[in-house]
Structure formats: C-alpha cells, structure tokens
Structure 1
Amino acid sequence: MIETIKTIMLDFQETQLETGVPRRLRIETVHGKAAVCSDVRRSGKSTYMFQVIQRLLDSGVSRQNILYLNFFDDRLHNLRQDSLGLIPEAYYSIYPEKKNTETVYCFFDEIQAVLGWEPFVDRLLCTEKCEVYLTGSSSRMLSKEIATQMRGRALSWEIFPFSFREFLDSKGIESGGALTTKKRLLVQKAFDEYWETGGFPEVISLGRNLRIKTHQEYFHAILFRDLVERHDISHPKAVTDLAHWLVDNTASLYSVNNLTGYLKSLGHKAPKSAVSDYLEWFEDAYFLFTVRIFDPSLARSNTNPKKVYCIDHALVTSVSSGILINSGHLLENLIFTALRRLHQEIYYYKTKNGREVDFIVPIRGRPNMLVQVCESLAEPQTRKREIAALSEAMNELGLKVGTIVTRKDDERIKIGVGTIEVIPAWRFLFELPDVSE
C-alpha cells in the first residue's frame, strides 16, 4: 500500500491544476488547527482547494512541499483507519530531508471516505511540521461534528454556490471600478442569466433541460447520501415528501406541528421529534435553512413559526412542483442566500402591529440591517404595505436606514424616522462585499 500512496503523491507533482473560476473566499490558517471546507454537494470545494494550492505555489512554496490525496481515488479504496499512518511515512520516504525542517502542506480531499480519520489528522497536527486542509461532502464533514471530533483542532469555512459577483467573474465581467453604462447593461444581462441558472458552477453553461436534470440529481444525492444513508433513516419516503414540501414552500412560514400533521396526512408515522431531526439534518447538509423570528427571548424565537429557504433559488425551480412557488418567493430566496454567505445569523422581524419584514441581520459594531424583498412596488397597495412594515420596524428598532430589494425599482424614500433605499436585486448583489465586514 505504501508504494501505491507514493505513486499517487508523485503523480500529483506532475498534475496540471484545474483551478476554475477564482472564488471570492480566502481561508486563513491558524497554527495547530486544520482548515476544513464544508459545503453543499457540488459547490466546488475541491476546485477551491486547487486554488489554495496554486496560491501557495505562486508565493514560492515548492511543489514537493504539497501533499495532496483525494480519498475517492479507487487506488486508496483499501486504506483503513489503522493504515493512515502510511501517508506521512510514504511522503517522508520520498522527501526525508523535509521532516521536521520544512512545512508540508497537506490537502486531504473527501477524507470522510476513511472511517475514523479524525485521530490521524489530530496526531499529524501534533507531531509533524505541517498545515492541514480538509474537505469532504457535507454528509460527514459538518462543522458541528468537526468541532467535536477534532477537539478544537479545526476551523470550519463554508463554501456556497457562486455568488452573483463570482458568477460575473465566470462570465469575464469586471465587477470593480466605475459602473459605466456599458458595464451596467452587461451586469443586468448577467443577472437575468444568474436568475435562470443559479450559482452551482457545473450548471452555469448547461441548457435548460440539462440544468434541471442536474439539479434534480443534486437534490436526490443530498437526500439519500447526506440524510437517508448517513442517518440510517428507515422511512426515506417521509424525508423525501418533507423536502418536497419545504422546497415548494420556500420563503414561507412553517411550524414543526404543521409539518408533522402534513406527513401524517400522507400516511407517514413520523413524530415531532423525527421531523425536528430532519429539519436539522437538512440544515447541516447546507440544503435548507431555517430563519427564526427576531426576539430577545430564545424561547419565543423557537416557538414562533419559522421560515425556510433553499441553498439555491434555481434549484428550487428545478425540483419544485411549481404550484406554490412564485417569482417573489424566489427573489426572497436569492436575497437570503446572498446574505447567508456573509452572515450566519439572519432573522425575520414582526412589528407590534403584526407587519413582517423579511430579514434583520445583526452586524457586530454596526446598526442592524433591515431588508424587505418585494418583486415590484408598482401596485399602490403593495407599495403602501411594504413601506409601512419597514418604517414600523425602523421606528421600533431605532434604525435610520432600511432597504427594499425589488426586481427593477430604484428610488430613495424619505420617511419620518429616516430613509428607505429601494434597490434592484442586481445592484444589491453587485454591491455586497465578498466577505463579512
């Protein structure tokens, strides 16, 4: 086996790196901790690892100091927990002069394929002069699990499908500098494409039918590999039916009680506790996200109805029945994922008069961000309702600025407590920072 590992390592030294579209994410390493990249399936974490490797090479690190293994390589199929120690042994048998003298950068892709890998990585960090980068499908590499299994020796980083600015990068459209008329038209056209295709890198260049088919394969892989197989669910149809209901009701309120009742109406015997587990597993797989009401009381926040969003708005259109989904819900989902890339804590807000604002985002050291999403303000009744909800929330929270994101409207509305910025979705996404500020 050691000879096989050495062959794979040497093969990598001659491999041309496929780095793809540079991601607007830069992971930072901490001495003695592994950097772990977790994501929904097919978000491009393996490609991102090649980008990290390329940056190291560009900074002067020798290719020989890069140790890369993909544990989905069939030649490593027989590698077991008790034989993982062969990896450093194989490496240092090739480069003995580097042991304890030079930093070795270890990249282990899909390491969850080997059961019990955590003690090996823990030992490697303790005994060797190295930096360790790990990736794996969300079925085994969830940040919650990593924090427990690695005893504090890991920092987790999230990778999402392409943001709008990364989508622009993939199209060769410069997102920096002045927004000239030509650039604005190019960005607006690109937004229309992004609206149709979503952000999964693999589907961007596909036609509609292939895109839908690919999205549906993602959906089933997440359900069966990240949930049913991993958690040994004995009634997978209940999970599938629940997932379909949640996707069909993207950007809508739900409660565990009504979901339990829904499954019961279909003949499933899933108790409330099981439904709660399913919801948590969906979130752990970066597939569906729950948003709670903004309330100082955690108990009230947990007992109030919650809202659900999907990892990708175009995935919703590909797998939903289409009966309940409308473009307003999809726009709200799109804005949620854009905010979620930057902020882990996102809530919805309900005013004392019962009016709802879609998102409130607490930002450390800065005023909370209030964002309302509405497809259009052209209808007078809609305009009045959306402005009233936002102005009430601003007044109650002591905020001077609120935002309404629409498909095309662009204006500034002065109200008693401050200003409401009405902004088209393309501009809102275009102006978001790459990382949380």
Structure 2
Amino acid sequence: MHRMREHIITQKYELERLKKEPYVKREAEEKLKQGLQTDLIKVISGPRRAGKSFLAARTLKGYFGYVNFDDEVLAKTEDFNEILKLTHEVYGDFKTLFLDEVQNVEGWELFVDRMRRLGYNVVLTGSNSKLLSSELATHLTGRYWEVKVLPFSFREFLSAEKVEPKVEISPQEGKMLSRLSEYLEKGGFPEIVVKGYDYRNYGKMLFDSIIMKDVVRRRNVKYSSTLYELALYLVSNFAREFSYTRLKNTLDIGSVHTVKNYVDYLEESFIILKAERFSYKLRESLKSPKKVYVVDPALLSAGFISSPNLGRKMENAVAVELLRRGYELWYWRDVRREVDFVLKKGLKIVELIQVTKEITRDNYGREVRNLVAVGKELKAKKLSVITWDEEDVIEVDGREVRVIPLWKWLIEG
C-alpha cells in the first residue's frame, strides 16, 4: 500500500509539470467540454503519445484526482477501493476522477460504473479502442461519452507552428505547400511538432512500444516476431490493398484466422487503419480485399520504407482526416474502376473522393471519368478530386467535379 501511495504522489507531480508545458488547442477539446457537463463517463481514446492525457489535464477545471495505470505497480492492483482511498489521501476531496490507460487493469469497467453511480465525474483515457469499446458496450451501454484523439491534424499542426490556417489563394500558398510537405513527412505527434524530437527515431521507438505494450503483452501474443513482421509489412504497404490469405502466404503464417486476429490487434492499437471495399452486398464486402493506412506519417518515416510515393502519402493523409471527421473508411473497386474513398451517412452515399498528385492527359480517364461513372452508379451527390496544388471545377457528362488542393481540403475541416 505504501508503494502504491508513493506512485500516486509521483504521478501528481508529473501531472503538475505536464500542465505547465506549452499547449496547442485541440479540436477534440470542445467535445470533451460538452461531455464534462453530463454525468456520462468520458472516454478519451487514441494512439499512444497523441496527447490524450494532456488534453484531459488542460481541459478539466477545478480539483480532480488522477491515477495513471500505465505503471508497473498500479497496473497490478486488485483492490480499486484501496486505489480510491489512496487517491483521496493524496488529493483530498474531489468529485472528478481522471483514470489514465485504465484498460491495463482487469475489472476496471465495474469500478468505473460504480464511481459514476456514486456521483463522481469520471474521465478515462485508453490506447486500445476495442478493449475499451467492448467493455464499455457490455457494462456501460449508453452511459459514456467518447472522444477520439489522434495526432495533430494539419490545422493543429499549423497552429503549433504559429501559422494561421487560411484557405484563400495568396502569395502564401507556396509556404503552405512547404508546411504540408513537412507534415506529410514528420507527422503530427505532439512531441515531434512541439518539442522538435527527431521523427525517425521517435516513430521507430513508438512503433516498438505500441507493438510490445498494446499488442503483445495485452493480447498475450505467442509469436511476437511474426506479429512484428506483419506490422512492418502492412506499414510498408500503406495505401494498398491486402487480403488475409495473401498475407498468410507471403509471411508464411500458420492460418488466416491468426492473420486476421493480428491485423485486428494492430488496428485496435491505432497503428493502422483499415478500409473496407464498398458493396451493397455485405457478404461480398466482407470477402473482398481491404486497404491499409497508417495513423501518422512518423510511422512511415521510421526506416521501414524509403521515399514513399507522394500520391500514397496524400491518400494516407486523407484517410486519417476522414476518420478524424467521423467517417468510416470505404473504397470502391470493380473490374474496370477504382475510387479511393466512398463517404457514407447512414445508408446514403454523400461523396466520392479521388486522390492524385495531379490530373494529366494520361490519368484523366482513371481519376475523373471513372469517378463520374461510379458517382452515377452509387447516386453520389458530391464528387471531389484532391490534388497537390490544382484547383478547378470540371463538368463531365452533366456532373460537376470539384478539384481541390490537399492543403485546402485539410484546412476546411
């Protein structure tokens, strides 16, 4: 008990130091503030080092108790009542309880629900989406407010760099493209952007940490080297299709079932994002190849691949931004045509998006005409082509296609 108390005291000093560090206002802050006005359990999920704890610490007002379970002593606790008693001993009286990386402790969901019933305003963070969501769905149905925190968006990146994000065409456009090049290379993890950490070393360190802490240990993965090879392979082939069977054969993994589990583990720990092939037939969609993206460019620049194609890096940035905006990731492909992103609201297709560095005479049919044809088939109202620096409105077969530079699309939000 004495040792746990010492760790909670140490964490209190660490939290006070964290609150004094430079803060870049996060877009998720408003949603968290709204949640704090309710008696729902607030759940902040996202990858490691994306700024979840910093966001909560800077947003919470008044006095609150804090426990970080990403701790070798506190993570082993079997007595939450003791944890609560020690936290009150360290912090005094409080009604807001902030529990960091709570999914590290077995039985956390029952304790959290009890705290809510006792009148505590509970805020949780976690870096494993499925473990959080599955337990919350089982025990806390309808009683939680979820806030997703990803690495900096391009808008937040510009804010950190003290650059005002404006979409007007101006002499500053060249500087904006330069900033975008930097963002696509270094990524948006706050410690890279704000503290200037080397993105290659940081990305490699973070990749290894997520694999070991959030996947291997938490999921008791027996063949960790196989999982690691799979993760490297997927990251190296971002913005490309994959199938479980092909991965099994390429990497000589025992079964398709194992491959699927490993891919799911990597997705729920926020290393990769997965896009499904769109079809109105569910069975056809489930059987089709997926596309893989990476949650942040730092993981692309960490030594896994050399000089990745700009078009793929642009497509990856669009995928992450769509997730940030609340969309599920879908793409379209048939024997003749492919569209990078199919945006849905409910059962309705609201927009199709194609991503390409530039529109040329050679790729016009693939990027524009195919987009229009698929748009007619899916009855999509809005058609967009995102490019590096081209802007236009194109009329094709009676349909309007908006061409917009990536930097402007990312800023529009």
The verdict on a shared fold, with TM-score over 0.5 as the criterion, is yes
Mapped contact 1:289–1:308 kept (Cα < 8 A): yes
**Residues 1:139 and 1:419: Cα distance change in structure 2 (over 3 Å):** closer
Whichever residue aligns with residue 274 of structure 1, its letter is T
Percent identity over the alignment?
29
Report whether the alignment pairs 1:295 with 2:279. Answer: yes
Could you report, residue by residue, the CA deviation over 1:32-61 in whole angstroms, capped at 9, with x for unpaired residues?
4311111111111111112212xx3xxxxx
Cα displacement (A) at 1:155: 3.1
What is the deviation of 1:81? Answer: 2.6
1:354-403 CA-to-partner distances (Å, cap 9, x unmatched) read: 2000001103597511100111213x111222112101111112234311
- Structure 1 residue 255 and structure 2 residue 243: aligned? yes
1:90–1:167 Cα change, 3 Å: closer
Q: Is 1:321 aligned to residue 305 of structure 2? A: yes
Letter in 1 for 2:191: E
Aligned length: 406
Q: Retained in 2: the 8 A contact 1:348–1:360?
A: yes
How far apart in 1 are the matches of 2:303 and 2:153?
Answer: 21
Aligned to 1:384: 365
Name the amino acid aligned to 1:408: D
Change (3 A) 1:149 1:236: farther
Task: Go from structure 1 to structure 2 and tell me whether the alpha carbon gap of 1:383 and 1:110 turns closer, same or farther (over 3 Å shift).
Answer: same
Verify the 8 A CA contact 2:64 2:91 in the aligned structure 1: no
Higher mean C-alpha displacement, 189-198 vs 421-430: 189-198
The one-letter amino acid paired with 1:277 is N
Write the letter of the residue equivalent to 2:321.
A
What displacement does 1:139 show?
8.1
Q: Which SS does the other structure have where 2:385 is aligned?
A: strand
Q: Is the radius of gyration larger for structure 1 or structure 2?
A: 1
Distance in 1 (CA, whole Å) between partners of 2:377 and 2:11 is 60
Q: Which amino acid aligns with 2:156?
A: E
Cα distance in 2 for partners of 1:80, 1:212 equals 36
- Counterpart-to-counterpart distance in 2, 1:307 and 1:183: 35
The answer as to 2:144 corresponding to 1:154 is yes
Kindly provide the amino acid, as one letter, of the partner of residue 118 in structure 1. Answer: E
**What does 1:174-189 align with in structure 2 at a 5 Å threshold?**
174-175=164-165, 179=168, 181=170, 183-189=172-178
Tell me how far 1:115 sits from its aligned partner. Answer: 3.5
Match of 1:219, SS? helix
Q: Distance in 1 between matches of 2:164 and 2:347?
A: 31
1:80 aligned partner, one-letter code? T
CA RMSD of aligned residues (A): 3.0
The SS at the match of 2:300 is helix
1:117 paired with 2:97, answer: no
Q: How does 1:5-404 map to 2 (within 5 A)?
A: 16-18=19-21, 20-25=23-28, 26-27=31-32, 28-29=34-35, 31-53=38-60, 56=61, 63=62, 65-72=63-70, 77=74, 80-88=77-85, 91=88, 104-127=95-118, 129-138=119-128, 142-150=132-140, 152-175=142-165, 179=168, 181=170, 183-204=172-193, 210-264=198-252, 268=253, 270-322=254-306, 325-350=308-333, 354-364=336-346, 368-378=350-360, 380-404=361-385
Give distance in 2, aligned partners of 1:94 and 1:286.
Answer: 33
Paired amino acid for 2:138? T
Deviation of the 1:135 alpha carbon: 1.1
Check 1:365–1:119 CA distance in 2 against 1; reply closer, same or farther (3 A cut): closer
User: Does the Cα contact within 8 Å between 1:256 and 1:272 map onto a contact in 2?
Assistant: yes
TM-score (norm: length of structure 1)? 0.83
Preserved CA contact (<8 Å) 2:50 2:189: yes
Structure 2 distance, partners of 1:5, 1:216, is 28
Residue identity matched to 1:188: L
Q: In structure 2, how many angstroms separate the alpha carbons of the residues matched to 1:329 and 1:78? A: 40
Structure 1: gaps of 5 or more residues:
57-62, 99-103, 433-437
Gapped regions of structure 2 (runs ≥ 5): none
Distance 1:257 1:17 in 2: 50
Give the conservation status (yes or no) of the 8 Å contact 2:47–2:271: yes
Q: Distance in 1 between matches of 2:192 and 2:20?
A: 21
Match of 1:59 in 2: none
Q: CA deviation at 1:409?
A: 1.6
Q: Output the CA distance in 1 between the equivalents of 2:16 and 2:224.
A: 44
Q: What is the alpha-carbon distance in structure 2 between the residues aligned to residue 9 and residue 279 of structure 1?
A: 34
State the Cα deviation string for residues 237-296 of structure 1 (Å, max 9, x = none): 2111111211121111111111111122xxx4x211101101111111111122111111
